[in-house]
Amino acid sequence: MDEDNKIVAEPRESFGKGAARKIRAADKIPAVLYGHGTDPRHLTLPGHEVALLIRKANAVLDLQIGGKSQLALVKDVQKDPVRQLIEHIDLVVIKRGEKVQVEVPVHVEGEPASGTIADLDAVTLLLEVEATHIPENITVSVEGLEDGTKVLANEVELPKGATLISDPETLVINVHVPQKVDLGEETAEGEETEGEVSEAEGAVEEAATEGESTE
């Protein structure tokens, strides 16, 4: 967990779309904090600071609420689909030492064998980890892997202290030779087909002319 994740959060008393618009206009973000059997707490967070912290997945914030500290995991971030501005954040109460289940992004490094490509089939894996030590990503090396190699979830090296929750047979990496598509041959075939059609049309016209002459 980052040491610079302290955020001063203000309790929020006004609700509704109008109130939310005013909050965002002041470069702040409306949020709700829930979990551990507590009643939901509506908060206002500083926009710029929080936007920087939540750029990585599963960010943990040390909320300062009324002079008291409360750790919270960013559970959901709602954004405007067009402007991509943060509209609302859902936060979950966490405690030091407890474990949580989170989707952790898979990061690929290295280059597979010459002439092959490595497809990333599972972009995240569900792990159980300590709440204050959530890994930023899971790194999988594809360096030198040959055609036909498949890397399953149970073959991925997990960060220290992490437990795999995803199906162990989940396909993570698939190394293969890309299929070749020869557009030149397809074009040539297309041109030949058009030529054949033209010849057929010419034959029909010639037959029609001979018929008229006979009449």
Greater confidence (3 vs 146) lies with 146
10 CA to centre of own chain = 30
| Alpha carbons 65 and 12: distance in angstroms, whole number | 11
pLDDT of the residue at 80: 87
pLDDT of the residue at 81: 87
pLDDT of the residue at 137: 95
Residue 190 has pLDDT above 60, yes or no: no
Greater confidence (5 vs 140) lies with 140
| Alpha carbons 175 and 183: distance in angstroms, whole number | 24
Residue carrying structure tokens 């990503």 = 137
The CA-based dihedral angle spanning residues 109, 114, 115, 118, taken in that order and rounded to the nearest 10 degrees: -20
Mean pLDDT of all residues belonging to the chain? 86
Q: Which of 7-16, 35-44, 164-173, 174-183 has the highest mean pLDDT?
A: 164-173
pLDDT of the residue at 15: 75
